[in-house]
Amino acid sequence: MVLLAQCIGALFGLLTVIFGAFGAHALKKAFTEDQLKSFETGVKYQMYHAILLVILGFNFNLETALERYMIYCFIIGTFLFSFSIYGLCLSASKGKKLKFLGPVTPMGGLLLVTGWALLLYAFIKNWV
């Protein structure tokens, strides 16, 4: 599980740099200002959680069910949240907005919130 968290974190980080550069250069002309802002939000959240996954991989054994669920929440939540934003922005810029992705973004956000809540619980459990 540690290796999974670290590898997915590194992959998310790598893709973040690529998507960030792509957004800053290639998409700047194709996107509206709102689409560019949304795209950048996806990129930021992806990088935040990429770093978090790598850090958690180095600092937790990730052996308990709680820790595994937390990692899954961060991985799946980041994918659903950020990649649905990318899909919405790209499809909208082509005039064919993929509306089914609209509800996916908040589901990803809910998983990210759940991951953070599980992390908080893990800290409190170890402290008390």
**Average pLDDT by stretches of 10, the chain with 128 residues:** 95 97 88 94 98 96 94 98 97 91 97 98 92
Q: Per the structure block, which two tokens stand in for 52?
A: 């978090």
pLDDT for 91 = 95
Q: 27: how many CB neighbours lie within 10 A of its CB?
A: 19
Q: Tell me 101's DSSP state.
A: G
Q: Is residue 70 a contact partner of residue 116, using CB atoms and an 8 Å limit?
A: no
2 φ, ψ to 5°?
-60, -45
Q: Is residue 78 a contact partner of residue 85, using CB atoms and an 8 Å limit?
A: no
Instruction: Spell out the domain ranges in the chain.
Output: 2-127
pLDDT for 18 = 97
- pTM (2 decimals)? 0.94
